[in-house]
Amino acid sequence: MSKRGVIVLLLIFVVVATAFAEIELKFYYPVGVSGPLARVIDGMTQEFNDSHPGITVVPVYCGNYDDTMQKVQTAVMSKNPPDIAVVEISELYSLLAMDAILPLDDYITAEGEEFLDQFWPAFFGNAIAKDKIWGFPFQRSTPVFYYNKDLFKKHSKALLDAGLDPNRAPRTWYELIDYARILTERKGNETTVYGLILPGGWNDWIFEAFLRQNDSFLIDQENKKANFDSPEALQALNLWYKLTTELKVSPPLRPWNMTITDFVSGNAAMMYYSTGGMPTVRSMANFDFGVAFLPMHVTYGTPVGGGDFHIFKNIPKANQDAAWEYIKFMTTPEKAAYWSMVSGYVSVNKDSYELPEMIEFLDGFPQMWTAANQLEFSYPKMMAVNYQQIRKIMVTNLDAVQLGNKTPQKALQEMQKEIQAILDRYSF
């Protein structure tokens, strides 16, 4: 064979080999490896792999949101980033500060003008920065208000005598105090049933909701100004102090994971919690329960929550293209509906609510409508560079208030000073 013939054969071999090359994607996902959602992600990913020859997505279960972000940061800094990751939505500016992720605008534009119309706009507030879309909504939530209907019925006379409706949840902060007081049960000095639980752990997220209900905010959208020393913040935290320390109708401090255990065990009549807790409550509570909007003050209001997909830089273009195919697959109406039904998260794809299986599911489990309907009063969750440090400062101070170890005014002053310093240092 001539030299030219050999070169032609080699080129053909390279082209064919490239066309059929297996692309393997590392997918960082925020859940423990033994968690039930890991099995769900495994199943959905296997379905993608089976239907997309040449692409294999390999989930890497990284622990909670903070663990996952730390693993992402370590991988990016060591120049070995994942191909895809679901990261908590407040971390967008930290990812951008590392120049770690790819804008998705070109992929979205290529799908056509109507592509985004099928998704809830409220979930893109935490995906957009510098006029570009950097994340794609997947496991998205809001906090919602759970209440034990059986305990409401048990105390119906007292509620009616106080002018309250035993057939619904409190709608205002004022009603919240009265319901919690009546529903709390004590034997001597021991509290056997708390009227309410304001959970710890993610109390920064819950407290942000109280500021939205008071027509205010904690960090501005431009990511430059902290607003913890406002009268609205003081009024909200004074309410927490009253419920936990003065009236003692909410326990001093309960970890996030214990809050839902207390509620399903009948040890608390009402709780603030993520819509992601819905499957646990449904499967473990042996009582009738309701789910309502978070009680309002000046207005209804809540931040959204959860995690978005991100595609990383410094990986082959073929991997980035394959990652986009995975994101599209996981957010189709069918897959978004399935994910919502098994996880309790809000389906990010509005079209999924028209599917027969979703209609049947919601007919039997109407509590799942609450978070989607509450999106009308939702706001983007606050974001900042180094958000993990901001969250730590908030949780530390809110915990201290809930334990009665710090006054609301002192806690807010310290949060204002420390968090403003972080915003000034990492202004984006």
Q: Which domain holds residue 136?
A: 23-141+305-379
Residue 98 CA to residue 363 CA, distance in Å, equals 45
- Structure token digits, residue 46: 């296997």
- In this prediction, residue 16 carries a pLDDT of 39
Verdict on whether the full-model pTM lies above 0.75: yes
118, 333 contact by CB (below 8 A)? yes
Report if residue 365 sits inside a domain. Answer: yes
For residue 426, name the pLDDT band (cuts at 50, 70, 90): confident
One domain, residues 339 and 312: yes
Residue 368 CA to residue 385 CA, distance in Å, equals 33
**405: CATH:** 3.40.190.10
> In this predicted model, what pLDDT tens digit does every residue of 61-84 receive, in sequence order?
999 999 999 999 999 999 999 999
One domain, residues 214 and 106: no
Compute the mean pLDDT over every residue in the chain, rounded to the nearest whole number.
94
- In this prediction, residue 313 carries a pLDDT of 98
* pLDDT of residue 6 exceeding 70: no
Report if residue 4 sits inside a domain. Answer: no
Q: How far is CA 1 from the centre of its chain?
A: 63
> In this predicted model, what pLDDT tens digit does every residue of 330-362 receive, in sequence order?
999 999 999 999 999 999 999 999 999 999 999
One domain, residues 209 and 121: no
One domain, residues 243 and 129: no
Report if residue 7 sits inside a domain. Answer: no
One domain, residues 309 and 213: no
Give which of 53, 290, 83, 273 is closest to 169, Cα–Cα. 290
One domain, residues 119 and 224: no
One domain, residues 349 and 407: no
Report if residue 16 sits inside a domain. Answer: no
One domain, residues 310 and 292: no
- In this prediction, residue 275 carries a pLDDT of 96
- In this prediction, residue 427 carries a pLDDT of 65
- In this prediction, residue 129 carries a pLDDT of 95
One domain, residues 316 and 169: no
Phi-psi region of 89 (alpha: psi -120 to 50; beta: other; left: phi over 0): alpha
User: Cβ atoms within 10 A of the Cβ of 77, count?
Assistant: 11
Residue 347 CA to residue 139 CA, distance in Å, equals 8
Report if residue 8 sits inside a domain. Answer: no
Specify the range with the lowest mean pLDDT, choosing from 7-16, 19-28, 267-276, 410-419. 7-16
Q: What is the DSSP letter of 267?
A: S
For residue 13, name the pLDDT band (cuts at 50, 70, 90): very low
- In this prediction, residue 344 carries a pLDDT of 95
One domain, residues 57 and 129: yes
> In this predicted model, what pLDDT tens digit does every residue of 270-325 receive, in sequence order?
999 999 999 999 999 999 999 999 999 999 999 999 999 999 999 999 999 999 99
- Structure token digits, residue 5: 């013939």
Question: Over pLDDT 70: what percentage of the chain?
Answer: 95
One domain, residues 175 and 108: no
One domain, residues 287 and 393: yes
- In this prediction, residue 29 carries a pLDDT of 97
Report if residue 17 sits inside a domain. Answer: no
Tally of domains in the chain: 2
